[in-house]
Amino acid sequence: MMDAREEDRREAAEYVLGTLDAAERSAARARIARDSAFAALVTLWERRLGPLHELAVSVVPPEGLLQDVLRDLPAETAEPAAAADAQETAPAEAASTLPTEAAPTEPSADLLAVEAQAAELLPVPPVVAEAEIRELEKDAGLEAAASADGNAQRAAVATPVVSEPAISSTEPSPSLQPSLPGQKGLPPAQPAPSSAARNPWRMASGLMAIVVLGLGGLLLRDAGRGDKVILQPAPAAPTQHEAVLTPRSAPRVTIKLDPATRRLEVVGLTVPPEGQTYRLWLVSQNGTRNLLCAFRDPTALAPDLTGWTGQGAAMLEITLEAAGDAPGQGAGEVILAGPLKQL
């Protein structure tokens, strides 16, 4: 028999899990509002189960949703000066420390100092980066990637579960098991209608399916990395791309990128202050950041497009950095950013 405390823990867990019906859920919500101990239990379970999001399948959100959200935000409050610093730090630091293919970046000890300096010398106002990262090209290989051999990685993810001794093997084999020899005890997929077996996405209700699909994305991303190439997406014919970078109250900056001619054209950007340089970065959808070129004169560019096939890029960013700094030291405050669109 459960005592009241145990019952509270169970109720909090089921609230987070989602198994309560409408009335129970409504009662739980009311209780969260008035009972801080119960609210703390809910938070505890949200933190415990939260990491499962890492295995969730990502889906392109509807276009316009961001604008819809922004429209409904409360009226703008006075923006503290510190806000700008905080904003700059996050994306710039993030990008500079994510793994890169060409590895143009190095860690910097005086990251924050240089950032502060760059902030004072902004030639253009902070930009509103278009936040909707569009998928540039639908990859026909995605389904194949989702079900492709990736046993090493699957095993790595599934290890903690595989190693558990208490897993029942009495259930009928889930539909994914035939493709996973030797993976006894992996979390099961939700049994699906027979048609599901033909389409990996249709199997994606149980944990194993989630793992496979999640890894499908990883496999695709791995395709560009030399050390872990598992599946190479079909190379696309080089086509011209364009990114429109739109500062909040400054002329529009347009960058045209042509992988066929290796030409890159920047329109609408002024020469930076003395001692400063622009650096142009190609940011892929997984956050990998490659330096295309550094320049002061926007009409004379020598981009390095060797690492770009036209696939997988999501965004262009321009940072303003001290000319003497090594690229990617993190000093780069992102002053302009915008998604690449295929023309």
Partner 1 sequence: MANSDVVRDLLLAVSLGDRDAFQTLYARTSPRFYGIALRLLRHSDRATVALKTAYLAIWNEALALRASLDGASPGAEGGPAGRQAAEALEELIGDPLCWMVAHVRRTALDLAREQPSDDGSVFEPFVVEDPADDPLASEERSRELLELLGCLGHLSEERRRMVLLAYYDGWTRDALSIYFDAPVHGINTWLRRSVGEIDAFMQ
Enumerate residues 169-188 that contact partner 1 by CB under 8 A: 169-171, 185, 187-188
Question: Could you tell me how many residues of this chain bind partner 1 (CB under 8 A)?
Answer: 118
- Rg of the chain (C-alpha set): 25
Choice from 30, 54, 173, 275 touching partner 1 (CB under 8 A): 54
CA-to-CA separations, 196 to 69, 105, 179, 192, in angstroms, rounded? 35, 44, 14, 6
Under the binding rule (CB under 8 A), the answer on residue 101 touching partner 1 is: no
Nearest to 328 by CA among 319, 339, 338: 319
- The Cα–Cα gap between 214 and 211 comes to 5
Q: Which helix (H) or strand (E) holds 241?
A: strand 241-245
Under the binding rule (CB under 8 A), the answer on residue 110 touching partner 1 is: no
- Closer by beta carbon to partner 1, 154 or else 303: 154
Under the binding rule (CB under 8 A), the answer on residue 40 touching partner 1 is: no
Stretch of residues binding partner 1 (CB under 8 A), selected from 96-104, 274-282, 291-299, 321-329: 96-104
CB 258 within 8 A of CB 67: no
Please give the single-letter amino acid code of residue 59: V
- The Cα–Cα gap between 180 and 186 comes to 9
Nearest to 340 by CA among 251, 255, 219: 255
Stretch of residues binding partner 1 (CB under 8 A), selected from 23-31, 238-246, 252-260, 267-275: 23-31
Under the binding rule (CB under 8 A), the answer on residue 155 touching partner 1 is: no
Choice from 102, 167, 180, 236 touching partner 1 (CB under 8 A): 167
Please give the single-letter amino acid code of residue 174: P
Choice from 1, 4, 59, 300 touching partner 1 (CB under 8 A): 59
**Footprint of partner 1 on residues 251-280 (CB under 8 A)?**
none
Stretch of residues binding partner 1 (CB under 8 A), selected from 55-63, 234-242, 273-281, 293-301: 55-63
**Footprint of partner 1 on residues 281-340 (CB under 8 A)?**
285-287, 312, 314
Under the binding rule (CB under 8 A), the answer on residue 121 touching partner 1 is: no
| Smallest separation, CB 297 to partner 1 (Å) | 27
Under the binding rule (CB under 8 A), the answer on residue 79 touching partner 1 is: yes
Residues forming beta bridges with residue 265, ordered by sequence position: 256
For 323, phi then psi, to 5°, come to -60, -30
- Closer by beta carbon to partner 1, 89 or else 262: 89
Under the binding rule (CB under 8 A), the answer on residue 19 touching partner 1 is: yes
CB 89 within 8 A of CB 116: no
Choice from 3, 120, 164, 227 touching partner 1 (CB under 8 A): 164
Is residue 143 classed exposed, middle or buried when 0-12, 13-18 and 19+ CB atoms within 10 A define those classes? middle
Under the binding rule (CB under 8 A), the answer on residue 68 touching partner 1 is: yes
